[in-house]
Amino acid sequence: MGAYSFDIVSEIDLQEADNAVNQALKEIRTRYDFKGSKSSLELLRDDKKICIIADDDLKLRNVQDILKTRMAARGISLKALKFETPEKAFEGTLKQEVLLIVGLTQEAAKAITKRIKDGHRDAQPAIQGDKIRVSSKSKDALQAVIAGLRAEPPESAIQFTNFKS
């Protein structure tokens, strides 16, 4: 019997993020409370961030809510979004950057690895760059690891990929 493995990653489908931003923009343009507003959203793919422009605090919160709703509907975890502090921009507007968190930080990877080692003796996690490879001789052990992480998700947005037997 061979070894089984899978990877724990933190990825964002940029096409889905783009779709979510476009849907959010469409909603902003058609909503009555945004009539005449300068509010907008833009996905900066290369920088892995979204730029929000809003007229005031209320509009900013509304744009954030619309964005979060659209991202969640597209299967993107809100844990993968890091909202930076808003700053003043042109003509009295507010600008806020939303970072798209891609890849596990070393800190997050260490925390997840420790949880797996503490709770699942027959599964071996190994940090490989910005992902974790979990291997075991038992498929059941790997399924238990996944079930445990789904029951109590870590701070980071995670996905399970690359299942091998």
The 10s digit of each residue's pLDDT in 39-87 is: 999 999 999 999 999 999 999 999 999 999 999 999 999 999 999 999 9
Residue in 42, 61, 59, 60 with CA at minimum distance from that of residue 51: 42
Domains and CATH numbers, the chain: 4-11+104-164 (3.30.70.860), 14-100 (3.30.70.990)
The H or E element spanning position 145 is: helix 139-151
Dihedral (Cα; 119, 5, 100, 157), 10-degree rounding: -30
Residues 158 and 10 sit within 8 Å (Cβ to Cβ) = yes
The label of the residue with tokens 């930080």 reads 105
The 10s digit of each residue's pLDDT in 107-133 is: 999 999 999 999 888 999 999 999 999
Mean pLDDT of the chain: 92
**pTM score, two decimals?**
0.83
In terms of phi and psi (left: phi > 0; alpha: psi -120 to 50; beta: otherwise), the region of 157 is beta
One-character DSSP codes across 98-117: EEE--S--HHHHHHHHHHHH
Residue type, 156: S
